[in-house]
Each structure stands twice: as structure tokens, then as C-alpha cells.
Amino acid sequence: MLIKDGIRMDGRKPDELRPIKIEAGVLHRAQGSCYLEWGGNKVMAAVYGPREAIPRHIQHPLKAVINARYNMVPFSVSDRKRPGPDRRSVEISKVTSEALEHVVFTGLFPRTMIDVCIEVLGAEAGTRCAGLTAAAVALADAGIPMRDLPVACAAGKIDGTVVLDLAGDEDCEGEADMPIAIAPRTEEILLMQMDGHMTYQEFEEALELALKGCREVSKLQKEALLRKYETKNEVAP
Ligand code: ADP
């Protein structure tokens, strides 16, 4: 049983997020970076570029290529994960790159590439949302011009109830999981995927919940960037 008397196994209400911590600019060697904890997920994102796209055949004459690479380290899951890319990480890298491409002003940097490295250090469901959310903060920290700060969050269905932000067992044993990413100012959808089944009415309810989650996470992203860049008014002695 995943939900009892309206309370989930980890004590959350159906519309509640797991605790989230975001820190911008944690790596000194990368142009931009972000460390994010979202429940049991621990994610590091680093941004390099824009720099000349190599090999040259991947260059686009009119815009920068966004190259997001999602990777789960072997110790991120309970059974050691085989290192290196697999079908799942290639898919997540692709959808993340496409979502970010819609917000970055790529036209300003023709023939270049912007590398976005997403390393999942600990995984507990919802890592693609955590990764994309951290990548957005790392891009902003790198000073890459964007028309909005993208953010992601999932909603889904467990034991017949539509819930926000599925955690470990809820993701494995629940009926549906739907991660979305949006550009929060316009709430334009940048990514939408779904595992499992929901009725149309449940889908609408889940979408509304996921949007609410995105709005909450978006605030935390902005706070993290403000914390990094706020200038303290120092009073002269
Ligand atoms: P997301 O992490 O975005 O929810 P999935 O739904 O594919 O993506 O994965 C759900 C969860 O399953 C992951 O967050 C992780 O905890 C677990 N998982 C994924 N891949 C593996 C793996 N190779 N070994 C063990 N657990 C995994």
C-alpha cells in the first residue's frame, strides 16, 4: 500500500514535494555549476562553453549545439550500476538537450557547443527532473543567455490517487509517472514523458499538480542563484 488515509509512505500529502536543496556555483573549474538534492536524489551539473564545436561536422553555422550528457555513477543505485552510457541515459541526455535548446539563445553563438554534464550521484526516482533543474541553474551560473530558467517536476498516480513528485517505491510500484519540464514565465512545456496509464481526467489533474511543483522548484532555483550572486552591503569600519 503506497498511500493510506491520504498520507504517503514517506509522510507526504499527495500534493507535496520532497525536500529540495539547491546550491549554485559549487565547482571552480567549470564555467557554471549546481549541486542539487531532491529527496534521495543527489545531482551535480556542470556547464562548459560556448566553445568551438568539435568534431567540426557537429557545428551548426547559425547556432550553438547544446550537448547535455546525463550519467548515473555506479554507486548511485543499490545494485552497482555498470559504468558508461546505456539506452536510458542516452534517451535522458537527448530529451534534456532538446528541452534546454528551447530556452538558450543558441543563435548568439554559431558553430559552438555548450556542454552540460549531469552526474547523478544518488538516485531515488525523478532523476531526469532533478538533472534538468540543476542543469538550468548551472547554465545561468555560467552566464549563458536564456529566455527563461527551465524547471522540471513529475506527477503521477499511485493506488488510484494522483500525486506530486513520486519517490522510490511509488515510481516502481505506482500506476503512472509523468515528468514535465517548463519555461516557467510562459508555462510552455519543454518536456513531457509518461510511464504507465492515466485517464484523461487524471492526466489533467497530474499536469496541474506537476505545474504547481514546477512553480515551487522554480522559486528555489532563483533563490539559489540570488544567494550566489547577492552583493552584501558592507559597512565601512
Ligand atoms: P527517473 O530517475 O527520471 O525517474 P526512471 O523512471 O527511468 O527515471 O528511473 C526511476 C528510478 O529507477 C531512478 O531514479 C533510479 O532510482 C532507478 N534506476 C534507474 N536506473 C537504474 C539502474 N540501472 N539500476 C538501479 N536502479 C535504477
pLDDT number for residue 221: 98
**Domain range summary for the chain, segments of one domain joined by +:** 10-230
pLDDT number for residue 212: 98
Q: Is the CB of 77 under 6 A from ligand 1?
A: yes
Q: Is the CB of 157 under 6 A from ligand 1?
A: no
pLDDT number for residue 1: 87
DSSP 28: S
- Give the DSSP H or E segment for 66: strand 65-72
Residues of the chain predicted below pLDDT 50: none
Whether residue 162 contacts residue 202, with contact meaning beta carbons closer than 8 Å, is answered with yes
Residue nearest to atom 21 of ligand 1 (CA): 77
Q: Measured between alpha carbons, how far is 180 from 167 in angstroms, rounded to an integer?
A: 15
Q: Measured between alpha carbons, how far is 153 from 151 in angstroms, rounded to an integer?
A: 7
DSSP 3-state of 5: coil
36, 73, 77, 91: residue to mutate for ligand 1 pocket, most atoms within 8 A of CB: 77
Residue nearest to atom 7 of ligand 1 (CA): 88
Measured in Å, residue 124 CA sits from the centre of ligand 1 at: 7
Domain 10-230: which topology? Ribosomal Protein S5; domain 2 (3.30.230)
User: End-to-end alpha-carbon separation of the chain, Å?
Assistant: 62
pLDDT number for residue 65: 97
Whether residue 43 contacts residue 134, with contact meaning beta carbons closer than 8 Å, is answered with yes
Residue with cell 514546477: 214
Contacts of 33 (CB under 8 A, 6+ apart): 24, 25, 26, 27, 44, 45, 46, 47, 138, 141
Whether residue 177 contacts residue 166, with contact meaning beta carbons closer than 8 Å, is answered with yes
Q: Measured between alpha carbons, how far is 172 from 81 in angstroms, rounded to an integer?
A: 17
Q: Is the CB of 125 under 6 A from ligand 1?
A: yes
- Closest by Cα among 142, 169, 165 to 154: 165
Q: What is the pTM of this model?
A: 0.96
Q: Is the CB of 128 under 6 A from ligand 1?
A: yes
Please write down the HEC assignment for all residues of 192-236.
Answer: ECCEECCCHHHHHHHHHHHHHHHHHHHHHHHHHHHHHHCCCCCCC
> Cell triple for residue 7?
498520507
Q: Is the CB of 165 under 6 A from ligand 1?
A: no
pLDDT number for residue 168: 87
Give the up-direction half-sphere exposure of residue 201: CA atoms within 13 A in the CB hemisphere.
Answer: 2
Tens digit of each residue's pLDDT (9 = 90 or more) over 151-187: 999 999 999 999 999 998 999 999 999 999 999 999 9
